[in-house]
Amino acid sequence: MDFSGIRTGLSGFRQKKHTVGECAFSAWIPFKTAALGLSLSHITLKPARVQGVNSPLIIRSGFHTTNNRLGAQGVIIEFTPSQSHPVRFILGEQYRLFKIFALEASVANNPFLIGVGVLIEFTSVSASVSMVNHPVLGWSRGFVALYCSSHEK
């Protein structure tokens, strides 16, 4: 279970400051070979007084397998009530080449995205480098580093 919150100060028209406050919640229910998840993102606590600044509420539900002969698979269904096309599907695959090294790939619709990446994972530290292709914005790069104090295998 995870809960997070942010407060952001934004400069708007005529350098007037606007404060935005939001929080997020996620929970995973683990099973022997898979996990189910639910998350709520961009829950607005203090909206900005300017249109277009607040992020829309996103509701996600997902299913992710543990490592198996084919790697690990995941699917996410995302619902953004304020959008004209509110439903989005995301499919992902992680294929372990070695115990500490994996290749990652994903595809999503609405908009259509393709992602590729690599993961390096040691006992309690992991790092992932990835690229995502957006139809309008082009290729974007990403990097994630994680540390876990109680890592279970």
Task: Check if the beta carbon of residue 5 is closer than 8 Å to that of residue 40.
Answer: no
Q: Which of 63, 64, 57 is nearest to 86 (CA)?
A: 57
Over residues 118-128, mean pLDDT: 92
Q: What is the mean predicted confidence (pLDDT) over 77-87?
A: 92
pTM across the whole model: 0.77
- How far apart, in whole angstroms, are the C-alpha atoms of residue 98 and residue 121? 10
Average pLDDT of the segment spanning 63-88: 90
Asked if residues 126 and 145 have their Cβ atoms less than 8 Å apart, the reply is yes
